Structure 1
Amino acid sequence: MLKLHVSIHMCDMLIGYARVSTDDQDLSLQRVALLGVDCTRIYEEKISGARRDRPELARLLDNIRAEDVVVVTRLDRLARSTRDLLEIAERLNERGTGLRSLAEPWADTTSPAGRMVLTVFAGIAEFERALIHQRTSSGRAAAKARGVRFGRPPKLTADQIGLGSRLVSEGTSVREAAKLLKCHHATLYRALGLEQVRGSNV
């Protein structure tokens, strides 16, 4: 679970991050807002938030130092989901770096209230993952009890296996029977429970 312990000092450096999704969108409003709170450096990029490979965000995360504070105008400029936000917040926390959103003052890990809110979010996300896992496990168990089979479907139906068995018992070779059933002969060997002899034409 996320454990935030960043504190803010007067000498902390504010690092801005601005993002828009397409080339025809403008970064100027975000830039003005970030400069307005005295960000000394701003990383900017025009790329969809759905993409994991955001080069400028990666550069920011590589270059931040302890006691820096990453500032965004809105959280959706930084993260594409709650889980993504928590992962980024954890990376910042590991570096001793804070996170602040101008539009969401509750998301300020340099304040006790902000740290508490993100810690609660992390707990909720962990609870949701555990709940999904529990529901999935219960659903699979119930399905198995009803006779539902998981994994790859069989390549031959019961009728095809029955036909293959009859053909082989009547003297047709496994290879010829497999051709008639339009399957590989090894598949028919397995389905009939026969042992295949390497190089055999049976």
Structure 2
Amino acid sequence: MFSTLRPPGRTLTDLPRTHIPNPRFTFMLIGYARSIQAQKQPITQIKELLSAGCQSIFIDNNSGDHLERPVLHRAIESLRPGDTLIMQNRDRLSRNATQTTILLGRVAQQGADARFLHETPRAVPATSAP
């Protein structure tokens, strides 16, 4: 029955190589989710990252106040040139602007990019009118 679905004598190995994707030239979307509560998994973040097309998601249960986060560093080290690290918003990376700059620099050193699903607008300082 199934032999009528393909020409006789043809197998998958007979297909031209152009039909097989080369993983070396495939860019990945890698997600990073963080929740400070160990017992509370960041389900909302994970769902949004999956909806955004992330093929791999790193889940961290550490505070964003420091740089000693092994899961985040593994996520950054897994990036290849052309990949994109995706997070729900900027504070998932770090709550400190200096640390955010350092971490985004490490992502750039890997040849990758970072994107935030919900970009938080920065507060514009109020100026006094003359």
TM-score (normalised: structure 1): 0.45
CA distance in 2, matches of 1:80, 1:26: 19
Aligned to 1:34: 49
Q: Give me the whole-angstrom Cα distance separating, in 2, the residues matched to 1:52 and 1:86.
A: 12
The alpha carbon displacement at 1:48 in A equals 1.0
Deviation string 1:133-180 (CA, Å, 9 cap, x unpaired) is xxxxxxxxxxxxxxxxxxxxxxxxxxxxxxxxxxxxxxxxxxxxxxxx
Cα RMSD for the two superposed structures? 1.9
* 14 and 105 in structure 1: CA distance in 2 versus 1, 3 angstrom threshold: farther
* 1:45 and 2:55 matched: no
- Match of residue 77 from structure 1: 92
CA distance, structure 2, for counterparts of residue 52 and residue 92 of structure 1: 14
Post-superposition shift, 1:51? 3.0
Q: Secondary structure at the match of 1:43?
A: strand
Corresponding residue of 1:149: none
**Residue 163 of structure 1 corresponds to which residue in structure 2?**
none
| TM-score, scaled to structure 2 | 0.69
1:175-194 aligned within 5 A: none
Greater share of strand residues, 1 or 2? 2
- Structure 1 residue 68 corresponds to structure 2 residue 89: no
* Structure 1, gaps ≥5 residues long: 1-10, 107-202
* Map of 1:12 onto structure 2: 27
Structure 1 vs Structure 2: percent identity of aligned residues? 30
* Matched ranges for 1:1-202 at <5 A: 11-104=26-119
| Structure 1 stretches of at least 4 aligned residues deviating more than 3 Å after TM superposition | none
Structure possessing the higher radius of gyration over alpha carbons: 1
Query: Is the helix fraction higher in 1 or 2?
Result: 1
1:66 is paired with a residue of what secondary structure?
A: coil
Structure 2 unaligned regions, length at least 5: 1-25, 122-130
